[in-house]
């Protein structure tokens, strides 16, 4: 698979963006100190859309966790496409006298639970448009706020270097470094 810069007719010095990784902070009391990491790109190893929520450890542990070092955080994963579903990964105590915590995963898969595959990406929207159901469509104020957010990003990256990456990889090294600066890593999809 060719990368964007290898496509016929694309100048080798093209500055067209095909990948975005960013940290966003929402400036209100509810989301104070909660970072949002967003990435999107072309020619990644998988075509997938999901929201992953990684829960931080509580500030005070109610019991001794000796011997449980290196526990993975609890993670809620909302799979939007191509296979709709929800999974929750949590640490649970193994049965027995000792405190041994093991990661387990609970899954809901749309196709498995209902016996039919979830609708294709735009299939549901087209049906809703035909029937006049606007529930899944963005309102005007939502679209305007989205463009304000995107406009601020594009205004600020004009002078930044463009980081490239080979087709079939999860993005440039700079995306890994973005999360490493906060002692985090991207979840593998």
19-54, pLDDT tens digit by residue? 999 999 998 999 888 999 999 999 999 999 999 999
Angstrom distances, CA of residue 173 to CA of 35, 39, 45: 20, 13, 15
**Stated pTM of the model:** 0.77
Check residue 172 and give its pLDDT.
95
Is pLDDT of 74 > 70?
A: yes
CA angle 102, 36, 168 (to 5 degrees): 80
- pLDDT one-digit tens code per residue, 135-175: 889 999 999 999 998 998 888 887 788 898 999 999 999 99
Strand-strand pairing, 85-93 and 75-81: antiparallel
List, in order of start, the domains of the chain with CATH numbers: 4-180 (3.30.360.10)
- Between residues 121 and 46, which one has the greater pLDDT? 46
């Amino acid at each position: 698979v060719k990368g964007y810069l290898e496509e016929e007719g694309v100048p080798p010095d093209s500055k067209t963006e095909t990948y975005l990784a960013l940290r966003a902070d929402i400036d209100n009391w509810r989301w104070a100190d909660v970072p949002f990491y967003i990435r999107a790109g072309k020619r990644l190893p998988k075509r997938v859309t999901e929201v992953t929520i990684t829960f931080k450890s509580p500030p005070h542990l109610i019991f001794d966790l000796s011997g449980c070092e290196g526990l993975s955080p609890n993670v809620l994963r909302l799979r939007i496409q191509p296979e709709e579903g929800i999974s929750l990964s949590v640490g649970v105590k193994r049965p027995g006298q000792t405190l041994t915590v093991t990661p387990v995963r609970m899954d809901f898969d749309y196709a498995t639970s209902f016996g039919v595959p979830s609708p294709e990406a735009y299939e549901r929207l087209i049906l809703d448009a035909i029937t006049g159901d606007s529930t899944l469509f963005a309102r005007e104020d939502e679209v305007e706020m989205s463009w304000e957010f995107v406009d601020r990003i594009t205004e600020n990256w004009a002078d930044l270097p463009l980081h490239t990456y080979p087709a079939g990889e999860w993005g440039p090294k700079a995306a890994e470094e973005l999360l490493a600066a906060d002692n985090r890593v991207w979840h593998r999809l």
